[in-house]
Amino acid sequence: MRKIRNFFLYLMLFVGALMFFTPKVQLYYALEKELKEYGVIVSSEKVDDTGLRLSIFGADLYVQGILSAHIQEVNVGLFGLYNSVSIKSIELAKTFRAMVPTKIEHAELTYSIISPLKVQVAAEGDFGEIRGYVDVVERLVHIELTASKLMKRRYSRSLKQFKKLETGGLEYESRF
């Protein structure tokens, strides 16, 4: 019994040390290099490895050379069985103002070994609240939106892309 306990103790210690000493900053810059091939550039950011998490502050997001968003803070947790990306305070570029509200307070992307084929998505902002997932095998994005009064009043044209649900919410699905 003692051998089994020691085995799990050493295993947990090894996994913890592996997570702590993973070169997260270098992995971030490698990802940034891969995104550049698709025309996505992140600039002006400050990157900080806090041990178990990678924090990114003050990032400007450019897509095809056009400033698309300013992101105040991103926290990335790579834990193997459960990974998360938490984004705080996203301000979309003014060019999006005609289609959607430009302020996103919080967004969360999570991947868990419990559901290995889907990345869960949740966000809150001036548009309301979003819950959904991205199915990486089926290449499907599924989003359920609870629209805010602002979204219903000023952006009704954008809401036409969504289907109404029986529960009163809105649903959007698209393949990529």
Q: How confident is the model at residue 157 (pLDDT cuts 50, 70, 90)?
A: very high
pLDDT over threshold 90, residue 20: no
Most confident of 12-16, 97-101, 117-121, 157-161: 117-121
- The span from the CA of 59 to the CA of 75, in Å, is 12
Single-letter residue type at 176: F
Average pLDDT, the chain: 94
- Residue pLDDT, tens place only, 94-127: 999 999 999 999 999 999 999 999 999 999 999 9
pLDDT at 80 over 80: no
Tokens for 160?
């036409």
In angstroms, the Cα distances linking 57 to 27, 30, 94 are 16, 18, 21
| Cα separation, 163 vs 172, whole angstroms | 6
Is residue 152 scored above 90 in pLDDT? yes
pLDDT at 51 over 90: no
- For residue 83, give the nearest of 31, 39, 46, 140 by alpha carbon: 31
Retrieve residue 129's tokens: 């609240």
With a pLDDT cut of 70, the percent of the chain lying above it is: 100
Taking phi first (over 0 means left), then psi (-120 to 50 degrees means alpha), and beta for anything else, what does residue 161 get? alpha
